[in-house]
Every structure is written in structure tokens, then in C-alpha cells.
Copies of this chain bind each other. A is one copy, B any other.
Amino acid sequence: MLAVKALTFDVFGTVVDWRRSVAREAAAALAPKGYALDWNGFALAWRARYQPAMERVRSGGRGFVKLDVLHRENLLDVLEGFGVAGLSEGEIDDLNRAWHRLDPWPDVLPGMARLRAKFPLAALSNGNVALIVNMARRAGIRWDAILGAEVARAYKPMAEAYLSAADMLGLAPADVALVAAHNDDLKAAAAAGLRTIFIPRRTEMADAGQTKDLEAWEGADLAAEDFEDLADRLGCA
């Protein structure tokens, strides 16, 4: 059995179904204004701007800014791309907080309750603290700590994001596992010295036909089907 002292979690995609949730939130905000958009496409277009925006921070092209700020800049682009105009600043702010209102996958709450009885559980997300706090309060997720990009002032996959989380948990990197549905995230965590656990989320990117991250990278320390299966594999009651 994998011997670790704490579990950290990627959040977008691994803990929550951002695609369907953002599509729902966009529809709730814009359909009453008469827009009939491809809501799924809207969510994907917004998400597609995520890595490039963080890359400007990671590369030193701009100082650290929290993800809410990047999301909002990206939202303005997406709204323009989809031909949406005339929203108030407050309406844009509220739609931007769609990312604070993401739903967990069905196995998450029961799985985390079992995992938490044995391990401290920390968010290790690129989402900022308020985003993760609001998401957790809405969804009933119980984190022992919210770590990750804002606290480390470094976006994954920079090593500092993972190392900061282990350090703040008071643990050596090898005593901490990252749970993620994305093999690139796990590879970066492994390079920083953490242990890695893969969970597939095979409808993260599309209802059918997702091509990436269907199976664990061969270097992952553990793979489980979902959070309940992970609790089984880690010997949780």
C-alpha cells in the first residue's frame, strides 16, 4: 500500500466537473438575456485560455496575479468571441465566479469523507483561496488546508507549487501524494519529489470521445477509478 502522510488534490477536473458546471452557469447568466450559445463550447473556450494566461505568469512576463483575475480577463475575450455585449461589470464579476460554483463528481464527497478520516486533505490547485473556499462551502467539500498557487505564489506545474504545499503540511515531499486526473500534473509533482495518484475523469473534456488522460501515466505510484476506489486502496474504512 502507498505509504504517505497527507493527500493533496488537483481540483479543476479532478474534484469538480468544471465543464458542465461552467456551461450551466453561462447559460443561467446569458440565456435570460436572449443568447442561445453553444454553452459547452463556451466553457471549453474559456478553459482553453487558462494555460496560456498562467504561462505569462510562470514565464515571468507578469507578476503573480490570482486566478480570479486571469479568469476575468479570459472571460472578456470569450464573451467577445461569442458575440456577447452589454454586460455590466457586476454581471461579468458574477459570471466570472462561475468557477466558484463548480459541482464535485459524484464519488468526491463520500470518498473524501473516508479519506479524511485517515489523511489530512489539502487542495493543491491553481485556483485562488477564495475560489476554493467558496466552492467548498457550496459543495460541502471539507479541506484541512487550501494550499497551491496563491499560497505558493507559483502556478503548477512549477515545482514551487508542489514543494510549498508539502512544506506547509510540515512533511517531506515523498510523504505527500498528489491526486490528479491529469498526467502532466502528476509528472511535475513527481519531479518535485511527491508521490502521485491518478484518477481518470473520462468525461472531463467531452461527454464522449475524450482522448487524453484516460489512463495513468506508467510512472504513477497508484491509480484508482475514483475517490471511493482510492479510499479502498488506501485502506480507509
Q: Please determine whether B150 and A168 come into contact, CB atoms closer than 8 angstroms.
A: yes
Q: Number of copies of this chain in the oligomer?
A: 2
Q: Please determine whether A170 and B128 come into contact, CB atoms closer than 8 angstroms.
A: yes
Q: Please determine whether A128 and B68 come into contact, CB atoms closer than 8 angstroms.
A: no
Contact flag A144-B151 (CB < 8 Å), given A130-B170, A169-B129, A170-B130: no
Contact flag A133-B145 (CB < 8 Å), given A68-B170, A168-B128, A170-B128: yes
Closest Cβ–Cβ distance, residue A208 to chain B (whole Å) = 36
The one of B130, B136, B142, B145 that contacts A129, using a Cβ cutoff of 8 Å:
B145
For A170, what are the chain B residues with a Cβ–Cβ distance below 8 Å?
68, 128-131, 134
For A144, what are the chain B residues with a Cβ–Cβ distance below 8 Å?
133, 136-137
Q: Please determine whether B169 and A133 come into contact, CB atoms closer than 8 angstroms.
A: yes
Closest Cβ–Cβ distance, residue A31 to chain B (whole Å) = 27
Interface assignment of A120: CB less than 8 Å from any CB of chain B? yes
Closest Cβ–Cβ distance, residue A72 to chain B (whole Å) = 12
Closest Cβ–Cβ distance, residue A186 to chain B (whole Å) = 23
Most buried by B among A122, A129, A142: A129
CB nearest to A123 among chain B residues? B145
Interface residues of A in 89-147 (CB under 8 A from B): 120, 122, 128-134, 136-137, 142, 144-147
Contact flag A120-B146 (CB < 8 Å), given A128-B170, A170-B68: no
User: CA of A132 to CA of B129 in the docked complex: distance in angstroms?
Assistant: 17
For A120, what are the chain B residues with a Cβ–Cβ distance below 8 Å?
133-134, 137
CB nearest to A144 among chain B residues? B133
Q: Chain A interface (Cβ within 8 Å of chain B)?
A: 68, 120, 122, 128-134, 136-137, 142, 144-147, 150-151, 168-171
**Sample of 8 A–B contacts (CB below 8 Å):** A68-B170, A120-B134, A128-B170, A129-B168, A132-B145, A133-B144, A133-B145, A136-B144
